[in-house]
Amino acid sequence: MKAHLANTMEIPEEERRLENQLCFAVYSTAHAFTRAYKPILDKVGLTYPQYLVMLALWEKSEQPVKAIGEQLDLDSGTLSPLLKRLEQNGLIKRTRDSRDERQVIVSLTEKGRMMRSEVDRIMAAIGQAAGCTLEEMATIREMLKGLRSNLMSAV
């Protein structure tokens, strides 16, 4: 993904409208995703951010809090309450790292591991709601990853 707008290029008035802003399209789509996930995740007792934490742990069932935060781009002030709630629900456990007491290790409980069987159902429901094929989702995802990379490089 290459930058195609020069600093001196005049932007047409129509492109200045809120509804035509790429940032707004991404922002509003993110909110739509969250709303679409809510009834699906309610059935398994998770919020969308909790689901993201669980996805990270289903990939690697034992991780430091810091690693989870980095994967999800969440600070500890946001992540800690999510982890506390997941622990209260019996899905994870948090323990101090025996080699470095400053680090907290998060691991799945048996209940948390068993919940992984819900992923296919959740993904199928979201795929149906999105109205995209797997190939279309992969294309959109790769474009968004490129956009994110460009934006991160620009700051």
Tens digit of each residue's pLDDT (9 = 90 or more) over 72-101 = 999 989 999 999 999 999 999 999 988 888
pLDDT at 5 over 90: no
Residue 139 exposure: Cα atoms within 13 Å on the Cβ side? 5
Neighbouring CB atoms inside 10 A of 135's CB total 8
Where does the pLDDT of residue 7 fall: very low under 50, low under 70, confident under 90, or very high at 90 and above?
A: low
Neighbouring CB atoms inside 10 A of 56's CB total 18
Determine, yes or no, domain membership for 4. no
Query: Is-contact 103 97, C-beta < 8 A?
Result: yes
Determine, yes or no, domain membership for 37. yes
Check residue 6 and give its pLDDT. 55
The structural domain count of the chain equals 1
Query: Is-contact 70 78, C-beta < 8 A?
Result: no
Determine, yes or no, domain membership for 95. yes
Largest CA distance in the chain: 60
Check residue 102 and give its pLDDT. 87
Give the CATH number of the domain where residue 121 resides.
Answer: 1.10.10.10
Determine, yes or no, domain membership for 99. yes
Determine, yes or no, domain membership for 94. yes
Contact residues for 74 (Cβ-Cβ < 8 A; gap 6+): 49, 68, 82
Exposed/middle/buried for residue 103 (C-beta within 10 Å: 0-12, 13-18, 19+): middle
* Both tokens assigned to 70: 């980095």
Where does the pLDDT of residue 1 fall: very low under 50, low under 70, confident under 90, or very high at 90 and above?
A: low
Check residue 46 and give its pLDDT. 96
Contact residues for 103 (Cβ-Cβ < 8 A; gap 6+): 64, 65, 66, 96, 97
Domain residue limits at 141: 23-154
- What is the percentage of the chain residues whose pLDDT exceeds 90? 81
Type and span of the H or E element at 107: strand 104-108
Tens digit of each residue's pLDDT (9 = 90 or more) over 24-45 = 999 999 999 999 999 999 999 9
